[in-house]
């Protein structure tokens, strides 16, 4: 009896081990840490949508498998919590043995994912379509397996200031507002750097509290300085009430410069008329005129077509994270398909050499300040302008070759 039991158990174990091995051969596993509860839930849902859309399109275009392997996406909820993110990363790498990690979202959570990934020697390739904070870049360093598919914070300010210098001219007075949250702190140093480099004078440099109930003290102090440009570095939630309060407080600043928030439908809906005149800088905005890729027109259609397909599936305008997750997922699938391999060296080499025209722009990886692989960092500057019918649109104002309109000073 006991012997039978022993045999049975070991048989089961062997079977399990075999099936595990077989599965490992046949499956391509993507580990997707996404924050779908907790405070980053809005981002997490976008990341999840992007990946799901990519897998759907892939299956439609190329069939259910990639290089003969079943595609398996392991969505795991970070609960916007760093300890859980650490545990997720460990489990992805050590237990699930995923081939690629895509995500997570939210600066803190992305930062928390870096050390557990980095300290494991045979870590898989990691594509990060978010997380712009320069501390993440510094911490990851020149890691061969890290692929950042989003702009670093300093790209924003470089582009912004280039646009300002070209469109507004030299010798301006700038007032800076930044939050004490992760977003403001991650951006402020580079913002100051590029503003000074442009030869502008910072007349007011104001810290605000994340989630503050009243920005009036800050605005009153800025009003007294009469700046030409108001440069705002706050995260979406704060941006909403700050934008409304800026309009209410009649600052009479001709140029209102923001970063990412102005292209978010979330922000536009919440601030209504107050969005007028704000400029934003982003990697992707609806209405970009990127063409379809020559070789993979179905996976990477033109920006306009892709947007249409997205609208059909989700009944909503896609947001930049969604495009980023989409493009990153498609790229990894293409890599596996092309190389017939899940070996990270092979994939890495392929990713380094690939070059597509995606709905998010050119996919070629370049070196950034510290990181080895960086793409989708091309930024466009646009301004929210009121159309004749009373609705607002994002008018591209920089770089000049894709500009669809001109920067207009504020009227209120």
Minimum distance, C-beta of residue 319 to other proteins, in the bound complex (Å):
10
How many angstroms separate the CA atoms of 19 and 17, rounded? 6
Minimum distance, C-beta of residue 284 to other proteins, in the bound complex (Å):
18
Q: Which is nearer to other proteins, 120 or 338 (CB)?
A: 120
How many angstroms separate the CA atoms of 215 and 236, rounded? 15
Neighbouring C-beta atoms of residue 168, cutoff 10 Å: 18
Provide the pairing of β-strand 392-398 with 380-386: antiparallel
Minimum distance, C-beta of residue 378 to other proteins, in the bound complex (Å):
24
Q: Which is nearer to other proteins, 65 or 209 (CB)?
A: 209
Give me the helix-helix angle, 41-62 and 320-339, nearest 10°. Answer: 40
Cα–chain-centroid distance for residue 402? 21
Q: Which is nearer to other proteins, 92 or 398 (CB)?
A: 92
Minimum distance, C-beta of residue 324 to other proteins, in the bound complex (Å):
18
Q: Residue 71: name the closest of 24, 101, 30, 100 by CA.
A: 30
How many residues are listed for the chain in this entry?
Answer: 412
Minimum distance, C-beta of residue 82 to other proteins, in the bound complex (Å):
5
Give me the helix-helix angle, 216-225 and 236-248, nearest 10°. Answer: 60
Q: Which is nearer to other proteins, 180 or 305 (CB)?
A: 180
C-beta of residue 292 within 8 angstroms of C-beta of residue 308 = no
Q: How many Cα atoms occupy the beta-carbon half-sphere of 233 within 13 Å?
A: 29
Cα–chain-centroid distance for residue 197? 26
Q: Which is nearer to other proteins, 274 or 358 (CB)?
A: 274
Minimum distance, C-beta of residue 80 to other proteins, in the bound complex (Å):
9
Minimum distance, C-beta of residue 160 to other proteins, in the bound complex (Å):
19
Q: Which is nearer to other proteins, 242 or 351 (CB)?
A: 242
Q: Residue 183: name the closest of 254, 140, 130 by CA.
A: 130
Q: Which is nearer to other proteins, 75 or 362 (CB)?
A: 75
**% helix / strand / coil in the chain, to the nearest 5?**
45, 20, 35
Q: Which is nearer to other proteins, 261 or 283 (CB)?
A: 261
Minimum distance, C-beta of residue 297 to other proteins, in the bound complex (Å):
31
How many angstroms separate the CA atoms of 205 and 192, rounded? 9
**214 token code pair:** 């009243």
Neighbouring C-beta atoms of residue 302, cutoff 10 Å: 17
């Amino acid at each position: 009896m006991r012997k039978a039991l022993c045999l049975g158990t070991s048989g089961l174990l062997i079977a399990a081990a075999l099936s595990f091995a077989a599965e490992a051969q046949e499956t391509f596993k993507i580990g997707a840490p996404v924050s779908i509860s907790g405070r980053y839930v809005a981002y997490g849902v976008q990341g999840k949508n992007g990946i799901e859309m990519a897998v759907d399109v892939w299956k439609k275009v190329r069939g259910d498998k990639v290089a003969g392997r079943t595609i398996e996406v392991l969505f795991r909820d970070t609960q916007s919590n760093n300890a859980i993110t650490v545990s997720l990363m460990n489990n992805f790498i050590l237990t699930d043995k995923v081939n690629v990690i895509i995500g997570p979202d939210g600066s803190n959570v992305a930062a928390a994912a870096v050390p557990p990934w980095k300290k494991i020697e045979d870590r898989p390739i990691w594509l990060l379509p978010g997380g712009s904070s320069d501390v993440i870049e510094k911490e990851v360093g020149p890691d061969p397996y890290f692929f950042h598919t989003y702009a670093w914070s300093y790209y924003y300010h470089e582009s912004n200031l280039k646009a300002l210098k070209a469109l507004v001219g030299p010798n301006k007075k700038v007032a800076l507002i930044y939050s004490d949250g992760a977003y403001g702190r991650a951006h402020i140093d580079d913002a100051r750097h590029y503003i000074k480099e442009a030869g502008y004078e910072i007349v007011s440099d104001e810290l605000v509290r994340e989630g503050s109930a009243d920005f009036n003290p800050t605005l009153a102090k800025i009003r007294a300085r009469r700046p030409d440009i108001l440069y705002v570095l706050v995260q979406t939630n704060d941006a909403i009430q700050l934008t409304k309060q800026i309009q209410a407080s009649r600052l009479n600043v001709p140029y209102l410069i923001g970063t990412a928030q102005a292209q978010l439908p979330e922000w536009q809906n919440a601030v209504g008329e107050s969005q007028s005149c704000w400029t934003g800088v982003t990697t992707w905005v609806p209405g970009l005129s990127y063409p379809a890729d020559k070789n993979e027109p179905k996976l990477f259609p033109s920006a306009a077509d892709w947007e249409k397909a997205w609208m059909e599936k989700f009944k909503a305008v896609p947001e930049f994270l969604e495009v980023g997750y989409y493009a990153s997922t498609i790229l990894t699938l293409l890599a596996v398909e092309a190389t017939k391999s899940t070996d990270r060296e092979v994939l890495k080499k392929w990713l380094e050499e690939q070059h597509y025209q995606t709905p998010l722009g050119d996919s070629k990886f370049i070196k950034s300040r510290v990181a080895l692989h960086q793409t989708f960092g091309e930024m466009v500057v646009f301004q929210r302008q009121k159309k004749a019918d009373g609705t607002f649109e994002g008018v591209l104002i920089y770089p000049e070759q894709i500009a669809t309109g001109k920067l207009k000073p504020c009227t209120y």
